[in-house]
Amino acid sequence: MAGVSEPGSRTVENTAPIAPEVYREMGLSDEEYAKVCEVLGRHPTYTEVGMFAVMWSEHCGYKFSRPILRLFKKYREAIDGAGLENAGVIDIGGGYGIVMKMESHNHPSAVEPFQGAATGVGGILRDIFTMGARPIACLDSLRFGPLDDARNRYLFEHVVGGIAFYGNCVGVPTVAGEVYFEDCYSGNCLVNVMSVGIMKHEDIAFARAEGPGNPVMLVGSRTGRDGIHGATFASVELSEESESRRSNVQMGDPFTEKLLIEATLEALKTGHIVGIQDMGAAGITCSTCETSAKAGTGMKIDCRKVPLRETGMSPYEIMLSESQERMLAIVKKGKDDEVAKVFKKWGLQAVVIGEVTDDGFVRVYDGDDLVAKVPAKSLADDAPTYYLETEEPRYLAEVQNYDLSHIREPEDYNEALLTLLASPSIASKEWVYEQYDHMVQTNTVVLPGSDAAVLRIRETPKGIAIVTDCNGRYCYLDPFVGAQIAVAEAARNLACSGARPVGVTDCLNFGNPEKPEAFWQFKRAVEGLAEACEFFDAPVVSGNVSFYNETPEMSIYPTPVIGMLGVLDDIEKRCTSEFKNEGEIIVMLSGSRGDDEPVCELESLGGSEYLKTIHGIVAGRPPKLDLDREKRVHQTVLELIAKGLISSAHDCSDGGLAVALAESCILGGIGAEVQLLANCAPASALFAETQSRIIVSLPTSGLKALREIAESHQVEPNVLGRTKSDRLVMSVNDVELLNVPVSELHAAWRGSIASKMKESGL
């Protein structure tokens, strides 16, 4: 028996102190341990100290991030009011609501990329269908170190493989995402998975253990020893030792998850389930105490009734296991057989392990022995809150004040463009998304590769557009502006698809919050996000914080990834990014107030892909962002799409104007001839990542109407040239700088990642 040698009291009577090295190893500080003793009025049992350690970890308890997250309006209102569940549902009309959430699985993926990424998908899907929603899409936002390193290629290959393994099997399409490659993610890759679900409003399910006397059921997989203290693992930095944490990583079983989706949605339809919560981090501990805390009830369970995968598991192990594909369901008294019948039909176990009580305690029995008796609220809501220090990082002044005036022009602009297109952060992600089933459920109207994925909403004329976004380099150079640009760019991508933003979910990836400089980055980024999301009327409805993304060598760029949802009231009025016809006019919509304003500014080379890829420099300030100007550009393009005036719309972002034009050429298989007037160095005109710009193409006949609409939004349309034949030709101030066949652009852009992965000889 594993329990025999456990270093602590087994039952709640006459408990002895837990040795400091034992609770510290679990992640509790001396002060926190003292608080546990104060809450209980005695020393905790071994099972109890494990439960507190995991629930009070940053991963579950948000003990560091909570004060900052209050900057998000909906979060603040929900915490102070009715709870987070209702707040997470976005009304899209027609009686339908969308729920969405994003979560990180960074640390597990860094040590076991395949299972780490796979279980990331599984976990986020359960968050969606336990709310009563059917998952309709997944997105993935990934970050790795450069692909010339074998370890990075290994992580990339297996993370994508794990996502494909899980997502394809459960039959939820992976429709969009992003992948960036930067040095700072070597050794600490980021795997952020987002899921989107749809429900009728009346079908919402709650994670509440209402009704004392109601049976508590455990449904789905058996419980094993996998993933014990996974949440604790997520709350420390990665190190040499992390490799030995492989056993903290859970194993995914997408087949069981698929059955669980169908069975849960069917069981909810019986009306007998009063509350349901999935088991992710902290397993049975988290689901029992959170559901009781929310309902103001208590719960008693017998861990001997939990179906086990292995023999000899102790209560401690059972309570902390993070075995996947399990849920806790609270069922109306006397209806447990009917609910079990549904799960059994799908070949799943559903076992009563206890019942709801009314005194606020979660009691865990091991047969007749009481091994834990803990106030539910103290575990779920009373994690100590820390107000951490912030300090502006020392590197900032240096990188921001970097003098960009000495940056030389490239010797060959064609070569520079081809190099940028082949840069894995810009290159086609076909190698990735072809491994994902992005069409199952037959709702995907705009497939991966355009600015945003577009899905139809069956039985309505509507559609939704979804996108994830974050340029970590911008956030490194200025976390506030970088975070705002993530929001602006996501909204711009939606606008280019014909959708207006309605909500945001986020996944905030940062370094060690206990270091004041990292916490400063976190605070500034959240301030930027909160302001920008309110500005675009796209409230943050859910989210996840992932700290400790660092190794002894380096920390990641602050990477506040956002997932944004947009609505198309009429899905027929949508747009994509590729040029459609030769001989059309190409117009750049920007927020500038007149022709006399330069199309570029030197400083906006700061943080650009050009500066990094061609000159090997990560410095400067990120491009300026004027939210009001940005919104006017979106309104313009939305009106143009709604009136059917334009053939294509593409957002101008990484790689600047030249890359945006090249992408529209490549995707459409059509060339373009473009003349720019610029009062800056040509490289800036071509490659600066100036914000608030959208490239559209349209028949000549529509130009007058376009001008009128643009002017009504105080947006100046810059006519750049025409779509034409099979080459991209660009001149700046009447000097031809670029002249490349589209086929050559296509080859550089499309084959880049695949060839890098092939060379690796994995």
- Catalytic, 105? Answer yes
Taking the complex as a whole, the smallest distance from the CB of residue 164 to other proteins amounts, in Å, to: 5
Taking the complex as a whole, the smallest distance from the CB of residue 125 to other proteins amounts, in Å, to: 13
Closest to other proteins by CB, 190 vs 348, is 348
Neighbour tally for 151: CB within 10 Å: 12
- The DSSP output letter for 407 is P
| 442 lies in the binding site for other proteins (CB under 8 A) | yes
Closest to other proteins by CB, 445 vs 660, is 445
Taking the complex as a whole, the smallest distance from the CB of residue 441 to other proteins amounts, in Å, to: 6
Closest CA to 89 of 127, 140, 139, 59: 127
Q: Which residue has the tokens 């749809």?
A: 198
Closest to other proteins by CB, 141 vs 443, is 443
- The mark string for 407-426 relative to other proteins (x by CB under 8 A, - otherwise) is --------------------
Q: Helix (H, G, I), strand (E, B), or coil: what is residue 421?
A: helix
> For residue 7, how far is the Cα from the chain centroid?
38
User: 687 near 604, Cβ under 8 Å?
Assistant: no
Taking the complex as a whole, the smallest distance from the CB of residue 542 to other proteins amounts, in Å, to: 25
Of the candidates 400, 414, 441, 755, which one interacts with other proteins according to CB under 8 A?
441
Kindly list the strands in the beta sheet with 453-456, ordered across the sheet, starting from the edge strand earlier in the chain.
Answer: 444-446, 453-456, 463-469, 559-568, 500-509, 540-546
Taking the complex as a whole, the smallest distance from the CB of residue 36 to other proteins amounts, in Å, to: 41
Of the candidates 437, 517, 584, 651, which one interacts with other proteins according to CB under 8 A?
437
- One of 43, 59, 229, 438 is an active-site residue; which one? 59
Of the candidates 26, 445, 665, 730, which one interacts with other proteins according to CB under 8 A?
445
Taking the complex as a whole, the smallest distance from the CB of residue 347 to other proteins amounts, in Å, to: 6
Q: Helix (H, G, I), strand (E, B), or coil: what is residue 465?
A: strand
Report the C-alpha gap between 354 and 44 in whole angstroms.
22
Of the candidates 3, 17, 67, 171, which one interacts with other proteins according to CB under 8 A?
171
Of the candidates 259, 407, 637, 740, which one interacts with other proteins according to CB under 8 A?
259
Kindly list the strands in the beta sheet with 215-220, ordered across the sheet, starting from the edge strand earlier in the chain.
Answer: 273-278, 326-331, 215-220, 349-357, 298-302, 361-366, 369-375
Q: Where does this chain touch other proteins (CB under 8 A) — which range of 254-262, 363-371, 375-383, 647-655? A: 254-262
Of the candidates 438, 473, 632, 756, which one interacts with other proteins according to CB under 8 A?
438
User: 690 near 628, Cβ under 8 Å?
Assistant: no
| 396 lies in the binding site for other proteins (CB under 8 A) | no
| 747 lies in the binding site for other proteins (CB under 8 A) | no
| 642 lies in the binding site for other proteins (CB under 8 A) | no
Name the strand (E) or helix (H) holding 326: strand 326-331
**CA-angle at 319, arms to 216 and 63, nearest 5°:** 105
Q: Where does this chain touch other proteins (CB under 8 A) — which range of 169-177, 328-336, 363-371, 704-712? A: 169-177
| 299 lies in the binding site for other proteins (CB under 8 A) | no
Closest to other proteins by CB, 255 vs 395, is 255
Q: Which of residues 83-112 bind other proteins (CB under 8 A)?
A: none
| 505 lies in the binding site for other proteins (CB under 8 A) | no
| 43 lies in the binding site for other proteins (CB under 8 A) | no
| 239 lies in the binding site for other proteins (CB under 8 A) | no
User: 294 near 209, Cβ under 8 Å?
Assistant: yes
CB contact set of 68 (below 8 Å; sequence gap of 6+): 522, 523, 526
- Catalytic, 746? Answer no
Closest to other proteins by CB, 438 vs 473, is 438
Of the candidates 434, 628, 711, 736, which one interacts with other proteins according to CB under 8 A?
434
DSSP string, 125-184: HHHHHTTTPEEEEEEEEEEE--TTSHHHHHHHHHHHHHHHHHHHHHT--EEEEEEEE-GG
The residues that bridge with 217 in the sheet, in sequence order, are 329, 352
Beta strands in 608-701 (DSSP E): 648-651, 672-676, 693-698
Of the candidates 101, 258, 377, 693, which one interacts with other proteins according to CB under 8 A?
258
Closest to other proteins by CB, 437 vs 651, is 437
Q: At what angle do helices 656-668 and 413-422 cross, to 10 degrees?
A: 70
| 579 lies in the binding site for other proteins (CB under 8 A) | no
Closest to other proteins by CB, 427 vs 571, is 571
Give me 195's structure tokens: 């899921």
Report the C-alpha gap between 319 and 251 in whole angstroms.
17
Report the C-alpha gap between 266 and 558 in whole angstroms.
41
Amino acid at 349: Q
| 255 lies in the binding site for other proteins (CB under 8 A) | yes
Count, residues near other proteins per rule CB under 8 A: 30
Q: What are the C-alpha distances in Å from 458 to residues 94, 131, 441, 462?
A: 11, 20, 11, 8
Closest to other proteins by CB, 31 vs 459, is 459
| 323 lies in the binding site for other proteins (CB under 8 A) | no
Report the C-alpha gap between 153 and 155 in whole angstroms.
5
Of the candidates 54, 164, 293, 698, which one interacts with other proteins according to CB under 8 A?
164
**CA-angle at 358, arms to 287 and 36, nearest 5°:** 60
| 435 lies in the binding site for other proteins (CB under 8 A) | yes
Q: Which of residues 328-357 bind other proteins (CB under 8 A)?
A: 346-347
Q: Where does this chain touch other proteins (CB under 8 A) — which range of 93-101, 292-300, 419-427, 434-442? A: 434-442
Q: Which of residues 58-77 bind other proteins (CB under 8 A)?
A: none
Closest to other proteins by CB, 435 vs 679, is 435
Name the strand (E) or helix (H) holding 107: helix 106-111
Taking the complex as a whole, the smallest distance from the CB of residue 433 to other proteins amounts, in Å, to: 8
Give me 673's structure tokens: 């001839």
| 571 lies in the binding site for other proteins (CB under 8 A) | yes
Q: What share of the chain is helix, strand, coil (3-state, %, to 5)?
A: 40, 25, 35
Closest to other proteins by CB, 259 vs 619, is 259
| 433 lies in the binding site for other proteins (CB under 8 A) | yes
Of the candidates 182, 253, 489, 584, which one interacts with other proteins according to CB under 8 A?
253
Taking the complex as a whole, the smallest distance from the CB of residue 498 to other proteins amounts, in Å, to: 14
- The DSSP output letter for 510 is -
Taking the complex as a whole, the smallest distance from the CB of residue 440 to other proteins amounts, in Å, to: 6
Report the C-alpha gap between 506 and 562 in whole angstroms.
4
Q: At what angle do helices 479-497 and 627-642 cross, to 10 degrees?
A: 10
| 545 lies in the binding site for other proteins (CB under 8 A) | no
Q: Where does this chain touch other proteins (CB under 8 A) — which range of 142-150, 201-209, 372-380, 430-438? A: 430-438
Taking the complex as a whole, the smallest distance from the CB of residue 634 to other proteins amounts, in Å, to: 24
How many separate helices (H) and strands (E) can be counted in the chain?
29, 25
Of the candidates 153, 332, 377, 456, which one interacts with other proteins according to CB under 8 A?
456
Of the candidates 89, 170, 694, 715, which one interacts with other proteins according to CB under 8 A?
170
Cite the active site residues: 59, 105
Interface positions with other proteins (CB under 8 A)? 161, 164, 168-171, 253-256, 258-259, 346-347, 433-442, 444-445, 447, 456, 458, 571
